[in-house]
Chain A
C-alpha cells in the first residue's frame, strides 16, 4: 500500500482530448497509436505517458507513432502522409492500429475515417480527438473507449463484472482496482476485463460478455450508456467513495446482479469497524481539511470519516490541516487515515 500523496485531479483545466484518448489506447498493449498531426503532439504525449508510467512503476514505452505532418502536408492535405504511416505501422508486430486526430488535421478537413477504412491487413480504428473543438481530457477518454467498444460484438453474457475507464494516469490506479476486485470477490463475483488497462486487443472481444459494468467515474456515463445499448449490460456509474459509499456500492452491485449482498456487507461493515478502532487515537482531534481536491464526494467521504472518529472539523486556530484525497473504497479511507495520523501526530 502506498502512502505517497497522490497527484490528484488530472482534470484540472480540462486537459487535451488527444491526451485523454491516448491514456486509453496506449493501454492496449499489443496495438500502436498513430497521432495524425505534427511531430510535437506525439512527443509531448509520449513524454507525459512515459513519465506517468514510470511514476506508477510501469516501465512501458508507449507505442506512439506520429504521421509527422509539415507545412506542405497542411497545404496539400495530410491524408497520404497518414496512409503511409498506417502502412508502415501495420507491417510491425501489432494487432491493431489506432489513429488519433489533432487540431490541425481537423481544421484542414482531412478525412481520417476514409483513410482508416482502406485495407491494411490489421484493424485500423479512428478516434476523433482534435482538442480545439472544445473537448476535455475526459471527452478523449470517452471517445477512445466508445471507439474501442465498437469493435466488440454482442455475445452471450456470463457472470463477469467489467471495470470501465480506469484513470490510467492516476497514481493509485492499481490500488483502486485492487479494492474493487476485493469487493467483487467479497460478493463472489468474478472480474471481467479492465476496459482499458493493460489489455490485449483480442480481449476487447469479451467486452460484451459481462453481466455488469462498473465505471470509474460518473464522467464515463456516456460510455456506460453506449455499452448498455450495444450489449445490454447495466452499469454502476462510479467506484465507491467513503465508508457508507462502499457499503452502498456492495448493495447496488448485489442488487443489479440479483444476488444476496447482505453477508458481504456484514463483513465489510465489520472491517470498517476494525479500521476505525485502529485509528481511535485520532478521536477528539481538531482538524481542518486541506489539499487540492474540491469535489463534494471526496469531502463528504472525509467528513463522514471524521464524524465516525469524533474528529472536530473546523477552522479554529488550533486545527491541524489534514489532506482530503479522492478515496476509493474502504481501503482508500484507510490510506487517508494514515495520512491524517501523520498530520495530527506530527
Chain B
C-alpha cells in the first residue's frame, strides 16, 4: 500500500490536484482512499460531484464516537474512489489539530486505512502537531509539496520541508519528501524555478500542471478534470503525474532553505 500526502500553501490547488490524482489513479484499476484533513472539508467534493459529505468530526460531535461506523464516514465517489473528510470544530473554537488525531485514531479502529493508495490532502500550513499527524506514526510515507512559482507559495513549501526534516529525523519515522508538484500560476520560467527549488531542497520536480481554464470549468460542473474532460491535455497531465508518483522511489530528507536564499532564488528567475 502506498500512502502519500499533499501539503502546500492554502489555495494553491492541493484539493484539486489530490482529487484529479485520485481519479487518475483509480483509472489504473487501483483501490484509492482520499482523506481530506482540513476543517473546511472540501477536499473530496469534486470526486463526490459537489456533495459535502458528512465529516468524521461532525458525526463524532452529534452522535458520539461509539455510534459512528465506517459506513457513516466513508463514501464512494467517482470511479469508486473512497472519500473521507476529517472535518473539525466550528471555526474559532476548540482544537482542529486534535480533531485530525482523533479522526486518524477512529479510522485506524475501523480498519479503514487500506487499499492500494491512500491520498492525504492536508490543510495549508502545518500549524501544529495535529496537522503533522499524516506525516507521523507511519501514515503517509511520501510527502508531495504542491507549489506555484510565487514566492509565498515556495515559502510555505519550504516551511513544510522543515517539518518533514524534523519528523524524518525521528527514529521510527518513515516520512520522506517524495517530490515537488508545480501547480502553475502561469508566470514565465515557472517550471524552471520550481524545479530549481526542488533541487535545492534535495528533491525533484515530479510533475508540472499548467494553468488551464478546463480546471475551472470542471469545478463549476462539480467534477474532476479526469471525469469532465477525459480527453483533454490537462487530464493527461494528471495521468502523467499519477504514473510518475506510482513509479517514484526517490524519497529524501529535505534540506530547507534560509529565507534570503529562497528570496534570491526567486529573484534570479524574474
Give chain A's interface residues, CB within 8 Å of chain B. 71-79, 107-110
Contact = CB atoms under 8 A, between A and B. Distances in A.
Nearest to B60: A72
Interface in B22-79: 57, 60-61, 64-65
Contacts of A74: 94-95, 98
B192 interface: no
Interface stretch (B85-93, B208-216, B255-263): B85-93
A75 B65 contact: no
| Chain A binding surface, main DSSP class | helix
B191 to A, nearest CB: 41
A78 B89 CA distance: 11
A169 B196 CA distance: 65
A108 B60 CA distance: 19
B39 to A, nearest CB: 10
Contacts of B99: 75-76
Contact of A77 (B60, B64, B94): B94
A75 B88 CA distance: 7
Contacts of A79: 93
Contacts of B93: 76-77, 79, 108-110
B237 interface: no
B102 interface: yes
A75 B99 CA distance: 5
B65 A108 contact: no
Interface centre among B61, B94, B96, B102 (most CB of A within 10 A): B94
B94 A71 contact: no
A107 B60 CA distance: 22
A108 B102 contact: no
A76 B102 contact: no
12 contacts: A72-B64, A72-B102, A74-B94, A74-B98, A75-B57, A75-B94, A75-B96, A75-B99, A75-B102, A77-B90, A108-B93, A108-B98
Contacts of A77: 89-90, 93-95
A107 B93 CA distance: 11
Contacts of A109: 93
Nearest to B96: A75
B100 to A, nearest CB: 9
